[in-house]
Amino acid sequence: MSASGETQRGNSKANDVRLSNIVAAKSVADAIRTSLGPRGMDKMIQRGDGEVLITNDGATILSELQVFHPTAQMLVQLSKSQDIEAGDGTTGICVIAGALLQACSELLSKGIHPTMIAEAFKLSAKKAEQILTSVAKPIDLADREGVLDAVNTCLSSKVVHHHSDVLAPISVDAVLSVIDPLTATNVDLNDVKIVKQVGGTMDDTELVKGLVLERSAKGGGGGPIKVPNAKVALIQFCLSAPKTDMENNVVVSDYAAMDRILREERKYILNQCKKIKKWGCNVLLIQKSILRDAYNDLSLHFLAKLDIMVVTDIERNDVDFICRTLNIQPIAHIDHFSPDKMGMAG
């Protein structure tokens, strides 16, 4: 009796673990089930910082959830993988997984061994792949209208589906402009940048085949705001007077010494600006700095006098995209300035 009792407890515990995993995964699938398809409902999500997000995209919803159960986390990762690989179907793939798990729980309740169910799923996956391959239609990327129809289908279930006539052509043209339609099998979406600006409507969205910076040129001090045949450089050093370490202070009690410090600062910044001009640079991009001022009014004044257009506060995350787009290299020190690190823009 004791042996059978122990065996019974062991089976019961294993069944409880399986049931717990199935329930956890199904709860994630049920959370986004109602947002599936063109008639799916949008979800309103409040983030920790108070920002409110409205979406019906499965990957977006699941990425905002704080999921701790390992099996439920697998469904979140499944949705992310689908988003990276295909860019669509993130909700449907989780709903299908939840439905399959529901079928599993019914089979388990009938006493079918989990190994048999797993083997059956493997056979079903192979058969499903054959069926999908047989009915699939290959898309020719050179056929813009065919690609446009596929994108319109994807947008039909999104919040912005009312503006698909504007967004779909922009999306297709953006992707086709960064790949070779004849040979490409995938696209690196890091080559396409989305710049958001406050104000305007969805109809104001446009595609720019080039580089769009979030900030405009610094026009103060009479500097140029438009430069033809630009020679562009991206610097990561600061065009301002050097400072001491955070723990140190410089105390100046003499007016003559203070005047001498100001003259040296002016001379130091002017020399930097002259070196930049010497290499023929007429458009300067300055990366944002957190240690000290990346620029000051004096450096902007000198650059304006030298007819150099200045765009400031370039984010570190944007440096790689700017360098790839303009075919330039970031310059970390004034002594590293050279023509081969600069790029041309028409």
In the predicted structure, residue 247 carries a pLDDT above the cut 80: no
Q: What are phi and psi of 227, to 5 degrees?
A: -130, 120
Assess whether pLDDT exceeds 70 at residue 310.
Answer: yes
Residue 45 pLDDT greater than 60, yes or no: yes
The fraction of the chain above a pLDDT of 90, given in percent, is 12
Looking at residue 245, its pLDDT comes to: 66
Identify which of 189, 10, 158 has the alpha carbon closest to the alpha carbon of residue 91.
Answer: 158
What's residue 10's pLDDT? 53
Predicted pLDDT at 252:
82
Q: What is the DSSP letter of 222?
A: G
The pLDDT tens digits of the residues spanning 56-72 come to: 888 888 888 888 888 88
Report pLDDT digits (tens) over 9-31.
556 777 788 888 888 888 888 88
pLDDT confidence band for 1 (50 / 70 / 90): very low
Residues 142/180, Cβ–Cβ less than 8 Å: no
> How large is the average pLDDT for residues 260-270?
89
In this predicted structure, the answer to whether residue 260 has a pLDDT above a threshold of 60 is yes
Confidence of residue 184 (pLDDT cuts 50, 70, 90): confident
N residues, the chain: 346
Q: Residue 170 — very low, low, confident or very high, per pLDDT cuts 50/70/90?
A: very high
pLDDT surpasses 50 at 246: yes
Specify whether the CB–CB gap between 42 and 54 falls below 8 A: yes
Q: Residue 303: how many CB atoms within 10 A of its CB?
A: 27
Rounded distance between C-alpha atoms, residue 39 and residue 259, angstroms = 72
What does pLDDT average to over the chain?
85
Determine the residue type at 224: P
* Burial classification of residue 56, based on how many CB atoms lie within 10 Å of its CB (0-12 exposed, 13-18 middle, 19 or more buried): buried
pLDDT at 5 over 70: no
**pLDDT at 7 exceeding the cut of 50:** no
Helix axes 297-305, 255-278, angle to 10 degrees: 40
Q: Which helix (H) or strand (E) holds 287?
A: strand 283-287
Helices (H), ranges, the chain: 2-33, 58-64, 70-85, 90-109, 114-135, 144-155, 164-177, 255-278, 297-305, 316-326
- pTM, 2 dp: 0.68
Q: What is the DSSP letter of 229?
A: S
CA distance 83 to 93: 10
